[in-house]
Amino acid sequence: MNSYPAPARELVAELVGAAAGDPARAIAFQGAPGCNGHRAALEYDPKALPLPCFSFEDALDAVKDGRAARALIPIENSQHGRVADIHFLLPESGLAITGEHFLPISYAVMGLGDGPFAAAYSHPQALGQTRQYLRARGIVPMSYADTAGAAAFVKEQGDPGNCAIAPPIAAQLYGLKIVAENVEDATDNMTRFVALAQQPLAAASLAGVTAMTTFVFEVKNIPAALYKAMGGFATNGVNMTKLESYQKGASFSATTFYADIVGAPGDPAVDRAIEELAFHCKHMAILGSYPQARPRG
């Protein structure tokens, strides 16, 4: 609790208490009240009880410990790419992806006064999404754990030369003045969140809906291994909408891949494609199949 700036602690305590009274309705998110994760949780399930957690690991642990039925975690942004460390955290969590949510992102500059400001505090993703705005005004970006927490931090520090980049609601929650709105560098700024739970969705719950499946894999360290592993998706007509690589460990000898496809196991085409993928892999793990929230393509 004390990890949060003082202006946020009372709100955090209130939300934590409500979630503790009904964990089955709780959705854990990373950040202070008023951050984009908080907004996403309320949009994803308006009846949910949002449970603020200081870090992504804390949010995942809340689900593993039974303090929340689900966690809602951002994994990628249309402007700034994947959220750091997420591709490591999701497979290691042991949780299953059970849904996705797309949240339009808009940021405001907020502070104790009208500026000018020397420094802006926010989450690295938000700083990256407002890079042009900050650079044009000579404002130094300063990394903070989350956007709304940065607003609470600016309030706590009491320095009129600092500002925060956060959702507009954070200014209301923490008593700051909005100096500029819609400061994101792209008007179509969008973040994709995934919902995670202890158990995957039952196959029957995906009947009749367009599904997505997310998985990670490591191909054998031989020539053309990735090309051969991907061939099954092409020959079986399975649409792969995302493929990203990342390194695990310091050897740089093996690359792990994170992928999304349209479809779910149980579909013969998907089953054939995954079987062929597994043949060419050292390791493969499905992270979850879930209803598609937004058409791809």
- pLDDT per residue, tens digit, the chain (297 aa), is 568 999 999 999 999 999 999 999 999 999 999 999 999 999 999 999 999 999 999 999 999 999 999 999 999 988 877 786 788 899 999 999 999 999 999 999 999 999 999 999 999 999 999 999 999 999 999 999 999 999 999 999 999 999 999 999 999 999 999 999 999 999 888 999 999 999 999 999 999 999 999 999 998 888 888 899 999 999 999 999 999 988 776 656 668 899 999 999 999 999 999 999 999 999 999 999 999 999 986
According to the model, what pLDDT value does residue 48 have?
97
According to the model, what pLDDT value does residue 187 have?
87
Classified as helix, coil or strand, 164 is: strand
Residue 17's Cβ-side half-sphere holds a number of Cα atoms within 13 Å equal to 6
Q: CB within 8 A of 255, min separation 6: which ones?
A: 218, 219, 245, 246, 247
Q: Which class does domain 6-102+190-197 fall in?
A: alpha beta
d(CA 79, CA 190): 7
> For the whole model, what pTM was predicted?
0.92
Q: Answer whether 163's CB lies under 8 Å from 115's CB.
A: yes
- CA dihedral defined by 84, 88, 93, 97, rounded to 10 degrees? 70
- CA angle, corner 95, sides to 90 and 98, nearest 5? 95
The yes-or-no answer to whether 6-102+190-197 and 108-181 have a common fold is: yes
| Domain positions in the chain | 6-102+190-197, 108-181, 209-291
Q: Answer whether 173's CB lies under 8 Å from 38's CB.
A: no
Q: CATH code for 209-291? A: 3.30.70.260
Architecture of the domain defined by 108-181: 3-Layer(aba) Sandwich (3.40)
**What are the backbone angles phi and psi of residue 241, rounded to the nearest 5°?**
-95, -15
* Long-range residue pairs from 45-50, CB within 8 A, at least 24 positions apart, any chain: 49/15, 49/18, 49/19, 49/22, 49/25, 50/15, 50/19, 50/26
Residues labelled catalytic = 191, 193
According to the model, what pLDDT value does residue 221 have?
82
According to the model, what pLDDT value does residue 87 have?
81
